[in-house]
Structure 1
Amino acid sequence: MMLLVQIADTAKQVADTVNRAAAQTAALPQQDDLRFGDLLVKGGWVMIPIGILAVLGLVIFFERYFTIRKAGKNESNLMVQVRENILNGRLESAVAICKNSNTPLGRMLQKGLLRIGRPIKEIEGAIENVGKLEVAKLEKNIGIIGIVAGIAPMFGFLGTIAGVIKIFYDISKTDNISMGVISGGLYVKMVTSAAGLFVGIVAYVCYHILNMMVDKVILKLETDAIEFIDLLEEPSK
C-alpha cells in the first residue's frame, strides 16, 4: 500500500513538472520567421553601395547586350548587294547601301568603297581603323561591369568586418559574452558578405558573356572584311 502511495506521488510530481514546462514555453514570445527583406535592411549602410553596384551592372549589361546583339546580326544580304553593285560598276549605289545599313560592317565597307582606286594596303588600313573604332564602341562601359565584379564582394566583406568590430565593442562595454549576443549580431552582418558575393558573381558572369559576344562580332567583321578585300582584288587577277 505504501509503495502505491509513493508511485502516485511521483507521478503527480512528474505531471506538475511537465505542466510547468509547458506553461513556461507558452509564455515565451514567439519568434518571427526570418524574412529576406528584413535581413537586407539589417545589413546596414553597406547594402546601399552594394545595391547601387547591382543596379549599375544590370543596366550596363542589358544596354550593351542589345547593342552588341544588333551589331552581330547576319549581314550576308548586305555583302551580296555590295558585291553585285561593285561587279556591275555601280560604286555609288554600293556606298549608299552601306550608309543606309547603319551597322559596323556597313561603315567599314563604306570606308573601303570610298578608297577604291588607291592601293589595296591603304584600303585595308582604312577598313582596319574603322573596325577598331567600331569594336571600341561595342566594348564601351563593359569594363565597368568588371569593376563591379571586383569591388562588390569587397564591400560585402567590409560590412561584415565592421559588424564584427561593433559586436566585440558592445561586448567589451557590457561584459556580456553570451553566445546569443555574438551569434545574433554576426548572422545579420554576414548578410553583407553574401550580398556582395552574389552581386560579384552575377557581374563576373555578365562581364564574360559580353566579352564573348564582342569576340564573336570581331571574328565576323574580320571575315567579311577579308571577303571584301578579295572582291576588290578580283578584277586585277
Structure 2
Amino acid sequence: MLEIIQSGGWMMVPIIIASILALAITVERFWTLRPQQIAPSDLLARVWGWMKNNQLDSSRIKELRSSSPLGRVLAAGLMNSRHGRTIMKESIEEVASHEIHDMERYLNALGTIAAVAPLLGLLGTVIGMIKVFSEIVVAGTGQANLLAGGISEALITTAAGMVVAIPALIAHRMLQRRVDEVVVFMEQEAIKLVDVLHGEREVADKNEAA
C-alpha cells in the first residue's frame, strides 16, 4: 500500500488528507444526527402529559430545552404561546432555523470533498502525463521503463481520487436525506403543538401523539 501511495507522487498527499477529513466528518455526523437523539418520537407525548397534569412549569421547560433540538423548538413555542399563534410560530421558526443550521454543519465540506477529490486525481493524471511526455522528449519512446513511472502516477492518482469521492458523495446524500427527514418530523410536531394550544386541533390528538 505504501508503495502505491509513493508511486502516486505528491498529489497523493492532498487526496489522503481529503479522505481523512471525509471519514471524520461522516463518522461525526452519523453519530450526531441520530434521529432519536435529535427528535425523540415520544417527546411531544411527554409534553402533553406535563400539560395534562399541570406540571408544565419553568423547570420542565428548562428540562425540555436541554433534552434535544426538538425540545428547544417546542420550548420556544411554549414560552411564547401566550403571545398568540403568529408570535408562537415565529419563535418556533427562529429556533428551528438555528437547529437546522447546526444539523447541516460540515455537510457542505463533505460535499466539497466529494467534488474536489476527482479533480485532484485528474490533476495528478495531468502531472503524470506531463512527466511521460518530458521523458519522451529527452529519451525517446524506446525506453519503456523510463515512462512507466509517469504513467503509474497518472493512473494511481485518478483511481485514488475516485475512491475518495464516491464514498464521500454517498455519505453526503445519506446525511442530507437524514437531515431532511428529521426536519419534516420536527415541523410536524411543532405544528401539532401550535394547533392544540390555539384550539385548531382536537384535544384527542394529544392522545394519538401519546
The verdict on a shared fold, with TM-score over 0.5 as the criterion, is: yes
Residue 121 in structure 1 maps to residue 89 in structure 2: no
Are positions 1:134 and 2:99 aligned together?
yes
Gaps of 5+ in 2: 203-210
Question: Which is bigger in relative contact order (C-alpha 8 A, separation at least 6)?
Answer: 2
Please state how far the C-alpha of 1:90 moved relative to its aligned partner.
3.1
Q: CA deviation at 1:113?
A: 1.3
Counterpart check, 1:52 vs 2:33: no
| Residues in 1 aligned to 2:200 and 2:14: alpha-carbon distance in whole angstroms | 61
**Are the structure 2 counterparts of residues 73 and 136 from structure 1 closer, same or farther at C-alpha, using a change threshold of 3 Å?**
closer
Q: CA deviation at 1:202?
A: 1.2
One-letter code aligned to 2:29: R
SS at match of 1:234: coil
How far has the Cα of 1:95 moved from its partner?
1.2
CA offsets 1:22-45 (integer angstroms, 9 cap, x no match): xxxxxxxxxxxxxx4312211000
Q: Report what 1:156 is aligned to.
A: 121
3-state DSSP of counterpart to 2:88: helix
Cα 1:71–1:84 change in 2 (3 A) is closer
TM-score normalised to the size of structure 1? 0.77
> 2:65 pairs with 83, 99, 103, which one?
99
Which entry has the higher C-alpha Rg, 1 or 2?
1
Superposition TM-score, scaled by structure 2 size: 0.87
Distance 2:14 2:123 in 1: 11
- CA spacing shift, 1:165–1:100, aligned 2, 3 Å: closer
1:126 Cα shift? 0.5
Structure 1 residue 100: deviation in Å?
4.1
Deviation at residue 185 of structure 1 after TM alignment: 3.6
Determine whether 1:87 maps to 2:56.
Answer: no
**1:63 maps to what in 2?**
28
Please tell me whether the aligned partners of residues 91 and 113 of structure 1 are also in contact (alpha carbons under 8 angstroms): no
Which segments of structure 1 move beyond 4 Å, counting only runs of 4 or more? 70-74, 178-181
Displacement, 1:179?
A: 4.9
- The equivalent residue for 2:5 is 40
Residues in 1 aligned to 2:200 and 2:182: alpha-carbon distance in whole angstroms: 29
2:176 to 194, 204, 211: 211
Aligned to 1:190: 155
Percent identity, aligned pairs only, is: 32
Aligned length: 201
Q: Does the CA-based 8 Å contact 2:39-2:70 persist in structure 1? A: no
What are structure 1's unaligned runs of at least 5 residues? 1-35
> 1:190-212 deviations in whole A, cap 9, x for unaligned?
10000001111111111101101
CA root-mean-square deviation: 2.2
Separation in 2 of the partners of 1:231 and 1:76? Answer: 18
